Amino acid sequence: MKAARAKTPRRPALKKPPAPGPKDPVGVYCRVRPLSRQDQECCIEVISETTVQIHPPDGYRVFRNGEYRETQYSFKEVFGTLVVQKDVFDVVAKPLVEDLIRGKNGLLFTYGVTGSGKTHTMTGSPGDGGLLPRCLDMIFNSIGPFQAKRFVFKLDDKNGVDVQCEVDALLERQKRDAMPVPKTPSGNRRQIDPEFADMINVQDHCKVDEVDEDNVYSVFVSYIEIYNNYIYDLLEEAPFEQIKPKWNSCNTPVRNGDFIPPQSKILREDQNHNMYVTGCTEVEVKSTEEAFEVFWRGQKKRRIANTQLNRESSRSHSVFIIKLAQAPLDADGDNVLQEKEQITLSQLSLVDLAGSERTNRTKAEGNRLREAGNINQSLMTLRTCIEVLRENQMYGTNKMVPYRDSKLTHLFKNYFDGEGKVRMIVCVNPKAEDYEESLQVMRFAEMTQEVEVARPVDRPLCGLTPGRRFRNQAFKEELARKLEMRGGPINGETEEQSASEIFLQSFPPLPSCELLDPNDDQTLPKLIEVLEKRHKLRQMLSDEFAKNVLAFKTTLQEFDSSVISKENYIQGKLSEKEKTIAGQKMELERLEKKIKTLEYKIEILEKTATIYEEDKRNLQQELESKSQKLQRQASDKRRLEARLQGMVAETTMKWEKECERRVAAKQLEMQNKLWVKDEKLKQLKAIVTEPKNEKPERPSRERDREKPIQRSVSPSPVPNAPPVRLRHRRSRSAGERWVDHKPPSNLPTDTVMQPHVPHAITVAAASEKALAKCDKYMLTHQELASDGEIETKLIKGDVFKTRGGGQAVQFTEIETLKQESPTGRKRRSSPSNPDPAEDAADSEWTDVETRCSVAVEMRAGSALGPGYQHHAQPKRRKP
């Protein structure tokens, strides 16, 4: 008989994607691990059955942007520290097992930081089994009486299933039974570890309520791990004689366990767009113990290591796959139906993800560092895929999801793009050291809840009469009971053989027919008598059989008439029902059209709402930016107003001081003019009254140059004239420590007024050492003015320390010292008045005026104070 093959009934192989059906969000649950010590600081608190709150522990900085603050996260359900494994299984995994038996796919994975309890949740501990053994126990409790014989279902290498007839399955069972049972190198048969035997002894006896009793089932399990972005089969076994020892540096053989490291496997996509691992070992199991023994055989090969944070840290992602093949029985309820359309293959993947970790905490080196990098990279790829899926579903974008960037996401591609249910358990450790990692895990879980997966469709009905298995079983039991009552064979014999034996037993036995004497006249009469009796009995049985046949015919006719009447009645009912169904179909078509119209309207409204929301977000952003801009402008305006007010107040004060200074200078100038006039009158009187014996000698040009300087240094005693003495100009900040920077290029001006700062450090070039000792700085700068005289500028500033440990100067003030000649009238002898006496008088008057001007300027400079431009050099006379 030809084997029938069935594929996994998921998304059909179409070029175009199917129409979007109903979707369900990814179910995310949170489980909080108990603290290892009672005095340990906690950063996670369970608020309610669906909410947890995470708060920064003591010592963490609280930034202004709210990065470290109390935050609440909501989940489908939160399991506290006192919740047992059974409660977690009933809420999370039990619905997935029910869907598996109904022909639907499921994915359950644990996610969290290393040491948060992921492996404990999935596998459990001795005496307290986790989700995986409880799932296996529930499956075999539900389908135990309806399992097919071994090798009736046979998986192929293309993620499909074949159905064999009973003869082929029997031959393969005999072939497998004849093979020797594999042993370990020590010579013992493989047995499950006694310390973990309690994990599978689950006493809940949980089972699915509604199991199709007319189907036969078969369970296949496989176990793989993803290590350093490579896929390895944990159930693959290498023959013992092929094991090659490794050699260390001392040429000594070193065994790495009792097996050769397996080769990496390749991911492929079948014709229904489902991902599978090629060449992966898939074992058919018939009980919970057998399935868990297969799991534990692979668990001992899984890569774990001791780190700073976890004594048995998983260094790879493990995936335990449970495949359930089911097919209906035929109409007689004896054999499996060979139609491949009626064969279903469903799958449940239980994933224990490796924990994310930071190398600065684990102090990983070498291989541990490489493993941690690959683990974090695969988890980051999973996060990226979830983000892109969420963005595509929420905003209608069509970005490519990077499934192929990691083997982990590539393996689960069909779960997120196809049909099924996806459940995630977020395991967290509430200790304060895991605060930052737990915060990232919470954010990822919150984002994952917004991703939706297509709801799986129900398995199509086979169209056969339900109850075939029990009807056939009841018929066999009744036949065996009747045969037992008649004393016939019970086991292993047919009904025809039992009836023939009963019929032969009802005839009288034949006497011996051997004739030893020709004169024997008794044997033949006895034989004739027995034969006549048998003939009469046979005739009687024939008459009885004819009567029975006639009665049976009559019964059949009555039954036929009743069947015909019932058929007529049923046909009438069916016609009525068909009319009703036709009306209901029309109503359904009308409602479907209405639903399509409403869906189209809803789609338009959703798009419109999306556009409005986008506009709203843009307007809100624009409003926020403009409000921020207005706030900045208002603050700038306030600062400018304050600055202008300060400038106005400062300018007003300066102008008031300037006015007072000018008034005082004007008063002093008027007094000096009056005094000059008096002096001129006195000199004129002396000139007129004194006799002139000889003409005064005109001084040379050199003497004219020296005379004003001498008069400015030691003027003649004049009544009420202020004394002129050489003094240094004192800085306004004499009480502070100054750096007096005088470049060597400066020229001495030889004026009366000179800038001088007491207790200052005089340097020719600015140095950081000198700046470190002072808090003020003054630079003496000289340049040539427009009138050809030297102009000296005193540039002052404050010295302050920089963050790098150096010194910097901020200039705050500039004082200007400029040399100017005193303004006076220059008289020359004209050709019309060449009188030498008048020229000499003019010269005397000019000398008096110059001397007075010097005194006036000196007094004015003393009254004005430092910071004012001083004019200390007299104006030179031209010859």
Beta strand pairing status for 264-265 and 246-247?
unpaired
Whole-angstrom distance, CA of residue 424 vs CA of residue 92: 9
Helix (H) or strand (E) segment spanning residue 344: strand 344-352
**Could you tell me which of 168, 232, 187 has the C-alpha nearest to residue 1?**
168
What pairs with residue 153 in β-bridges? 163
Residue located via tokens 């004060």: 653
Determine the 3-state secondary structure of 204 from DSSP: coil
* Apex 3 CA angle, 2 and 8, nearest 5: 150
| Residue 116 in marked binding region | yes
DSSP letter string, 562-628: HHHHHHHHHHHHHHHHHHHHHHHHHHHHHHHHHHHHHHHHHHHHHHHHHHHHHHHHHHHHHHHHHHH
Q: What token pair was written down for 308?
A: 């700073």
Residue type present at position 267: L
Burial class (CB in 10 A: 0-12, 13-18, 19+), 572: exposed
Q: Hey, is 200 helix, strand or coil? A: helix
- Is 252 labelled a binding residue? no
Alpha-carbon gap, residue 761 to 766, rounded angstroms: 11
396 is in an annotated binding site: no
Instruction: Please check if 629 is assigned to a binding site.
Output: no
Would strands 153-155 and 160-163 be described as parallel, antiparallel, or unpaired?
Answer: antiparallel
726/451 Cα distance (integer angstroms): 92
| Residue 574, CB-side half-sphere exposure with 13 Å CA sphere | 6
- 113 known ligand binder: yes
Other beta carbons within 10 angstroms of residue 669's beta carbon come to 14
Spatial neighbors of 641 by CB under 8 A, at least 6 apart, are: none
Q: How would you classify residue 410: left for phi > 0, otherwise alpha for psi between -120 and 50, otherwise beta? A: alpha
Structure token digits, residue 450 = 């917004």
Closest CA to 212 of 126, 158, 142: 142
Distance CA 385, CA 379 (A): 10
**What stretches of 486-522 show up as alpha helix (H) in DSSP?**
495-505
| Residue 216 marked in a binding site | no
Q: Burial code of 828-860, b = ≥16 C-beta within 10 A, e = fewer?
A: eeeeeeeeeeebbbebebbbbbbbbbbbbbbbb
Distances (CA, A) of 52 to 108, 274, 656, 661: 21, 36, 70, 77
Beta strands at 421-428 and 27-32: parallel, antiparallel or unpaired: parallel
Asked whether 457 and 22 are in contact (CB, 8 A), the reply is no
For residue 11, which of 273, 401, 268 has the smallest C-alpha distance? 273
At residue 265, φ and ψ (nearest 5 deg) are: -105, 165
Q: Is 115 annotated as a binding residue?
A: yes
Which residues, 6 or more positions from 495, have their beta carbon under 8 angstroms from its beta carbon? 479, 483
Beta bridge partners of 461: none
Give the Cα separation of 855 and 875 in Å (integer): 13
Residue 50 assigned to a binding site: no
From the annotation, which residues make up the binding site? 112-119
From the annotation, which residues make up the binding site for ATP? 112-119
